[in-house]
Structure 1
């Protein structure tokens, strides 16, 4: 319920500001995130077995022009991060333990602040986006497995994930193309500056790519 109220408030503010000419474009974008995590074991030479997983992302966005080349874009929304696990669990009798799912899913709220650089002014205009992303972890879904003999169910990474930092800060790099100022297609990369988890034996950091399609809603009525 809290997340829904935040999204409604953000959309209301964007619509209100647009009538005051504070912003030039506002709308939504949806797409796919492609994320993993780097697990750095400090005391033992163990490589991270985590692979990339796909997820959903959806944002409200508002943009303000500063001349013909630069604009500032703010986005607020939801993104799924996490990783695909490749670790095989072996029971005491040597058989493989079946897992319920293969992905650790982190449900994050995210705020993007980006400087958009448009070197060409045309109907189909390429652009570069450089900025920051702040994430806030609201919930997660762990990998579950069942112990064959007892039938008891366990979470694989919960003991670590429950101690994750709620807030993280990272960079935001994007390449995209604006199509008649109405629709845009964008590829983005989000390397984290801060760590999800860090102690004497282990540090964990997000790594995320994304592809999204955006629509500037106010341009539909022009």
Structure 2
């Protein structure tokens, strides 16, 4: 956590220097909903966990560089909730086979992230459609401690490398802009990796995938 805070302060300081040098084109704050799930790959059994998408919260702060008509560079830092939900049968010692109905279990993970991205845009009378893509680094802030013991939690990866890509539509008026952004945060590296070991039922690899829909507000430098 201390590392994440340190990185945040360094980035803010750097952004301030860029603004003074008039390299920064805009700053924006985006917030919205996350729909996430996790893919479970078991090592010794053929089983597809019937998990469903979990709804979470996302917020991001982005700085846009380069005063170009069509191209720019985005750097975004943010916070996102990922995980999945699972519907399971209710069982008791008297009814181990179930039949008492179902209950929903939610597994929520919290991440801070940094993502530099390449953006292509085109303005049409104040409306600006755009697309963006770039690498992303996630840092695990919190995992569901009720479901994972300290022993099993050591198999979580603190840092996850992935990719962010998406599209947006913005309306600009004067120095300000508002818009909708849709993105996919896809992971290349695993969120959890546990090799098959003696004493465990199964080894398993877990990978995140999340879709985000944001409402964003933006301020442009040098616009009137």
TM-score (norm. length: structure 2) = 0.80
In the other structure, the counterpart of 1:209 is: 211
Quote how far apart the aligned CAs of 1:59 are. 1.2
Give the count of matched residue pairs: 210
In the other structure, the counterpart of 1:40 is: 41
User: What SS is found at the alignment partner of 2:89?
Assistant: coil
Q: Is the 8 A contact 1:79 1:109 kept in 2?
A: yes
Gap regions ≥5 residues in structure 2: 197-202
User: What SS is found at the alignment partner of 2:143?
Assistant: strand
Q: After superposition, what is the alpha-carbon deviation per residue over 1:113-141, rounded to whole angstroms, capped at 9, x for unaligned?
A: 11111145541111111111211001123
Q: Is the 8 A contact 2:35 2:54 kept in 1?
A: yes
In the other structure, the counterpart of 1:182 is: 177
Quote how far apart the aligned CAs of 1:91 are. 3.3
TM-score (norm. length: structure 1) = 0.81
Q: After superposition, what is the alpha-carbon deviation per residue over 1:84-124, rounded to whole angstroms, capped at 9, x for unaligned?
A: 12233533322569999721111111111111111455411
Structure-2 change in CA distance of 1:48 and 1:115 (3 Å): same
Quote how far apart the aligned CAs of 1:173 are. 1.2
In the other structure, the counterpart of 1:150 is: none
Q: Distance in 1 between matches of 2:182 and 2:169?
A: 9
| Aligned pairs for 1:62-77 within 5 A | 62-65=63-66, 67-77=68-78
Deviates more, 1:39-48 or 1:115-124: 115-124
Structure-2 change in CA distance of 1:164 and 1:100 (3 Å): farther
Deviates more, 1:8-17 or 1:122-131: 8-17
User: What SS is found at the alignment partner of 2:56?
Assistant: strand
Q: Distance in 2 between matches of 1:6 and 1:170?
A: 18
Q: Distance in 2 between matches of 1:207 and 1:111?
A: 16
Q: Is the 8 A contact 1:176 1:187 kept in 2?
A: yes
Q: Distance in 2 between matches of 1:128 and 1:110?
A: 20
Structure-2 change in CA distance of 1:33 and 1:62 (3 Å): same
In the other structure, the counterpart of 1:123 is: 126
Q: Distance in 1 between matches of 2:33 and 2:222?
A: 24
Q: After superposition, what is the alpha-carbon deviation per residue over 1:29-65, rounded to whole angstroms, capped at 9, x for unaligned?
A: 1111111100111211111222111111111110013
Gap regions ≥5 residues in structure 1: 143-154
Quote how far apart the aligned CAs of 1:221 are. 7.8
Deviates more, 1:11-20 or 1:170-179: 11-20
RMSD over aligned CA atoms reads 2.9
